[in-house]
Amino acid sequence: MSNLRKAYCMRVRVALVAAFAIALSIAACFALGADGRWLSGGVSGLVVTPAIIQKELGRFLWLPDTRIGQVNVANHGTTPVVLNLEVAGIAHTEDGSIDVLPCPSEVGAALILSPAGPVTVMPGRTAAVKLELSRAYANMPDRSGLCAALVISGAPVRAQLAPRGLEVGSTIVLPVMVKLPWRDRTRLAVVEARVESADPEAGHPALALKVANEGGAYARVDGRVFITTVDGSRVAEAEFGPALALPGCVRAFGVELAGSSLPPGRYLADAQVRADGKAAGGARFTVSSLGRP
């Protein structure tokens, strides 16, 4: 991640923490229910379904379908809650943790919310927010998808003293990923491969692999890696993934080479990647092994 991008992420994190008193790590703030719901960590009792929106839009003749889906926000608390809806940029770290970024103007205009907010939800009731892709964006010939974060913040109609202190509300971050498959220009690149030291307990080495999504839409990445000696003798192979990779992001994979040993020396790593189950290229790297510690 570039220094500029790190600086943006840090500023956004600080601003959101000050405004909402939360951290941006989804796993740390919210509980994901078994049926695909975000359960808010505050006292407002918000339940959001689904936990993620992932949609491939179709088309009829030359007319694209722009309907992305619907988000339901249920108020399981005891007081009315006012919802504010905001579209933000989204990225992820190499391990898949979500980063919320400043929203590019193009993304903010492309993702249409109905209603746009604020929305009041009474106790025991549910608000439905429909999401649609603007037709102007869908008709751009150089666009094959869109990724964004829908930030849903809820607070009581009136801030009031609760038994455990001031009732401040909750914020939930919902990833929204859209693909225009008829314009799918998936571009994955293996940007790094290296052999890691063998795990003394497991007794086998591992390959650290990084795959960059250089296309314009999200992709589910998986693949297989082959390890050979310099003379072409195959000594190991293993599968990796699957994992989602957002446009402009790098995803790291730890590939265990079970049942194999790599004596000290130089090897060739041939990584073949797939995007959504289809071959998407690969790369070869020369890697070095130091053997077992």
Structure tokens at 89: 């940029």
Q: Give me the number of domains the chain comprises.
A: 2
**What is the mean predicted confidence (pLDDT) over 217-241?**
93
- Whole-angstrom Cα distance, residue 283 to residue 287? 12
Are the C-beta atoms of 268 and 282 separated by less than 8 Å?
no
Do 91 and 193 lie in a common domain?
no
* 29-35 CB contacts, 8 Å cutoff, 24+ apart: 29/171, 29/172, 30/172
Q: Name which residue leads in pLDDT, 242 or 161.
A: 242
Structure tokens at 205: 């080495």
Domain end, chosen from 182, 206, 236, is at 182
In sign, the C-alpha dihedral spanning 150, 156, 158, 161 is negative
Residue 224 has pLDDT above 60, yes or no: yes
Provide the CB-side half-sphere exposure for 279 (13 A, CA): 5
Do 82 and 8 lie in a common domain?
yes
> What is the model's pLDDT at position 121?
94
Residue 255 has pLDDT above 50, yes or no: yes
Residue 75 has pLDDT above 60, yes or no: yes
Do 209 and 85 lie in a common domain?
no
Beta-bridged to residue 147, according to DSSP, are 177
19 membership: H or E segment, kind and range: helix 3-20
**What is the mean predicted confidence (pLDDT) over 135-161?**
87
Structure tokens at 116: 């746009």
> What is the model's pLDDT at position 202?
57
- Domain of 173? 3-182
Do 128 and 246 lie in a common domain?
no
Beta-bridged to residue 67, according to DSSP, are 132
Are the C-beta atoms of 263 and 289 separated by less than 8 Å?
yes
Do 27 and 47 lie in a common domain?
yes
Do 108 and 203 lie in a common domain?
no
Are the C-beta atoms of 36 and 49 separated by less than 8 Å?
yes
Q: Name which residue leads in pLDDT, 86 or 41.
A: 86
Query: In the structure, what pLDDT confidence band is assigned to residue 198 with cuts at 50, 70 and 90?
Result: low
Lowest-confidence segment of 159-168, 213-222, 224-233 by average pLDDT: 159-168
Do 207 and 177 lie in a common domain?
no
CATH number for the domain including 96? 2.60.40.10
**What is the mean predicted confidence (pLDDT) over 112-131?**
94
Domain end, chosen from 156, 182, 208, is at 182
pTM more than 0.85: no
- Whole-angstrom Cα distance, residue 182 to residue 17? 40
